[in-house]
Amino acid sequence: MNTLVIYYSLFGNNESIATNIAQTNNYDILEFDPGSIFRVFQFFVRKKRLAKKARQINTEKYNDIIICGPIWAGKPAPAIIKLLENIDLKNKKVTCNFTYTQDYGETESEIEDLIVKNQGNFQGIILWNIRNETNTK
């Protein structure tokens, strides 16, 4: 069974989590990088570019996908939303690891809906409070 860890990281927190998961389990790892120093604003100026980049990620040889990314203001970062809307998740088991500082709002149901809509098999979310450096399942 092959597993791919995909991460989006602005300040390095999600890169660290993704790298740890990948190295510990000998999984493949890939950064989803919008390609701009102004990553916070990529959703507003480069939505089409993000969608195209996500569609270019080849998940064919993987059975399991692990997504790592941030939650901003109680919602998944726009790059994570575009990734989950456009990557091929058909018949893939998808687990998510998300970092947050104060609130993760309705993230769980929103993410599950995106994965199921994209024909993936939602496995769950692990939430990492980076302010307190704890995680919850």
Contacts of 20 by beta carbon, 8 Å cutoff, 6+ apart: none
pTM above 0.75, yes or no: yes
Structural domain count of the chain: 1
Find out whether 91 and 61 touch, Cβ atoms under 8 Å. no
Distance between CA atoms of residues 41 and 127, nearest Å? 23
pLDDT score recorded for residue 103: 78
CATH number of the domain encompassing residue 66: 3.40.50.360
**Consecutive 10-residue averages of pLDDT for the chain (137 residues):** 91 94 97 66 60 88 97 88 94 96 84 96 94 61
Residue 14's domain comprises 3-136
Question: For residue 90, what pLDDT is reported?
Answer: 96
- Give strand pairing partners of 100: 129
**Whose structure tokens read 């994570």?**
80
